[in-house]
Amino acid sequence: MDTTSELSSSMVRLNIGGKKFCTTIDTLTNREPDSMLAAMFSGRHAMSNESKTGYVFIDRDGKHFRHILNWLRDGIAPTLSDPDCSELLREADYYQLLGLKEILKASRRETGEVEAELTRVDIIKCIQSERVRFRGVNLSGIDLSKLDLSLVDFSYACLRNVFFSRTNLQLAKFRDADAEGSIFHNAILRECEFTSANLRGALLAGTSLQSANLQDACLVDCSFCGADLRSAHLQNADLTNANLEGANLEGANLKGAKLSNANFKGANLQRAYLRHVNLREAHLEGANLGGANMTGAIR
């Protein structure tokens, strides 16, 4: 018996989005027999995507495919934090790896990382009605970019790592919402209410936040580079380590705000309300403070 020949015939070379892997047919078919991978390599279907080099090409991101192979080999799922866990869950869904999906979902439930209750399609259907509320709903990790969500009420919702890029959120409500790590890049947020919301680490660069209410909000590590915050309400907001370089804060109210290590380089703070604010640890190089009310401010 030619064992070398048998081993060669059972080997599979995979090219997953440019990343190359080598495994066996048994690995791809035994643990998850109902998966897409098992169907591809069961011999029931002709392989039309095999290149001349012997690699079977699958047009997916190969970043997490090693975790998929390890699951198929050993039955052990990796311990990952979001967003990596969400990304792996999407790949498991694509390859129809039901066992891996269940373990990943159970792991997220144990760590409090619960799957979103609605999808982007659900949201689009909902916003066709006149009055939309998602109060207290878990929408973590979904893509809501480029939608018209003006006037929508997201109060008390879990919005961690949501994509709001270029979304129209004018007059939307986020009171007490948890939007940690969400991306609002170039979104329209005029007159939004973020009172007491958690936006730690959120990306708000280039956003339009004129007259928005961010009182008592957690804005630690947020990026507001180039954002328009004219007449915004930032009373008692925590802006520790926030980056507001080049932002327009003309007429903004920062009474009681925490500004430790906040970056205001090149920002426009004309006529801003900064009475009794501690500016000693903030970076104000090149900032325009013309007409700002700085009575009792610590500098």
Q: What is the pLDDT of residue 190?
A: 96
In degrees, to the nearest 5, what angle opens at C-alpha 159 toward C-alphas 171 and 199? 75
Structure tokens at 250: 């003309």
pLDDT higher than 60, residue 47: no
- With beta carbons less than 8 A apart as the criterion, state whether 159 and 178 touch: yes
Beta bridge partners of 248: 228, 268
* List of residues 6+ apart from 29 with CB closer than 8 A: 37, 38, 41, 42
Q: What is the pLDDT of residue 4?
A: 43
Domains of the chain: 7-110 (3.30.710.10)
In degrees, to the nearest 5, what angle opens at C-alpha 75 toward C-alphas 31 and 108? 115
pLDDT higher than 90, residue 7: no
Q: What is the mean pLDDT of the chain?
A: 88
pLDDT higher than 50, residue 31: yes
Q: What is the pLDDT of residue 217?
A: 97
- With beta carbons less than 8 A apart as the criterion, state whether 139 and 119 touch: no
Among 34, 80, 40, 87, residue whose Cα is nearest residue 65 = 87
pLDDT digits (tens, 9 = 90+) for 168-191: 999 999 999 999 999 998 999 999
147-154 long-range contacts (CB < 8 A, ≥24 apart) are 147/123, 149/123, 150/188, 152/127
pLDDT higher than 60, residue 145: yes
Q: What is the pLDDT of residue 110?
A: 60
Segment among 27-36, 47-56, 123-132, 210-219 with least mean pLDDT: 47-56
Provide, rounded to the nearest whole percent, the portion of the chain with pLDDT above 90.
Answer: 59
CA atoms within a 13 Å half-sphere pointing along the CA-CB vector of 28: 21
Among 42, 20, 46, 12, residue whose Cα is nearest residue 30 = 42
pLDDT higher than 80, residue 42: no
pLDDT digits (tens, 9 = 90+) for 196-212: 999 999 999 999 999 99
Coil, strand or helix at 266: coil
Phi (first) and psi of residue 223, to 5 degrees? -110, 120
286 by Cβ neighbours in 10 Å (0-12 / 13-18 / 19+) ranks as exposed
For the segment 246-262, the average pLDDT, to the nearest whole number, is 96
Q: What is the pLDDT of residue 50?
A: 62
- With beta carbons less than 8 A apart as the criterion, state whether 226 and 205 touch: yes
Structure tokens at 290: 């013309």
Among 180, 135, 179, 181, residue whose Cα is nearest residue 156 = 135
pLDDT higher than 70, residue 296: yes
Q: What is the pLDDT of residue 3?
A: 45
pLDDT digits (tens, 9 = 90+) for 78-120: 888 777 888 888 888 888 898 898 888 777 666 555 566 778 8
Amino acid code (one letter) for 222: C
